[in-house]
Amino acid sequence: MKVRVVTFPGSNCDKDVGSVLKDYFQAEVKYTWYKESFDDVPDLVVLPGGFSFGDYLRCGAMAKFSASMESVVQYANKGGKVLGVCNGFQILTESGLLPGALLHNRTLKYICKDVELVPVKENIFAKNFQSNLSIPIAHGEGAYFADGETLERLEKNGQVVFRYEENPNGSLHDIAGICNEKGNVLGMMPHPERAMNPFTGKMDGKQILEALLKN
């Protein structure tokens, strides 16, 4: 299985997600610098967490203009599988691959803790999860926002993947993660790659990546 992890200036979870994909899924991981474009067809492209371009102007706003993102958009439009985690989710909304936007947490506090995620049964990725998942979040701007019409469409199409059991940040409809209409682009604020090492006692992230890779 071939995976590309795109690294932007300020990404800091690229090696984390790359190493768990290597260690637990035997993936062949290539790190793609934001200035590089690609035209091969990997099995998955990951936009990792971090603070791309220092989160200046808006989180993810600068990243969308990079050469690698042009390739990611083309790859996604052809049905390629893309996962955006945290800052990666913000980049996906800024680049228009996912609807909506991420706002400052309602409390204005940076939140770093484990949260309980409720998989949404109507969603293609989440339908086979048997129970809630415990996954860490670490963000200052993770409150999902979309206008009423977009939220209604997301709900109707089963595009909401995960909701928070207890909403930590003010996300509308308690949304923690969504996918696009075709179901090949997934964005989420929680970090599944941080819940995949038995030493930490947290393994629920593995189920998320398994579901994504099998789908």
Where does this chain bind another protein (CB under 8 A)? 57-58, 61, 65, 93-94, 99-101, 103-108, 145-147, 170
In the residue annotation, 86 being an active-site residue is answered as yes
Please identify, using beta-carbon distances, which residue of 33 and 56 lies nearer to another protein.
Answer: 56
Identify the active-site residue in 86, 139, 141, 179.
Answer: 86
Smallest separation (angstroms) from another protein to the CB of 61: 7
Smallest separation (angstroms) from another protein to the CB of 95: 11
Please identify, using beta-carbon distances, which residue of 148 and 201 lies nearer to another protein.
Answer: 148
Give strand ranges (E) for the chain: 2-7, 28-33, 44-47, 82-85, 101-103, 111-119, 133-139, 143-145, 160-164, 175-179, 185-188
Smallest separation (angstroms) from another protein to the CB of 69: 14
Residues in the chain: 215
In the residue annotation, 173 being an active-site residue is answered as no
CB 171 within 8 A of CB 144: yes
Identify the active-site residue in 13, 59, 139, 191.
Answer: 191
Please identify, using beta-carbon distances, which residue of 53 and 129 lies nearer to another protein.
Answer: 53
CB 2 within 8 A of CB 28: yes
In the residue annotation, 191 being an active-site residue is answered as yes
Rounded to 5 degrees, φ, ψ at 66 are: -80, 155
List 28's β-bridge partners, or say none. Answer: 2
Active site residues: 86, 191, 193
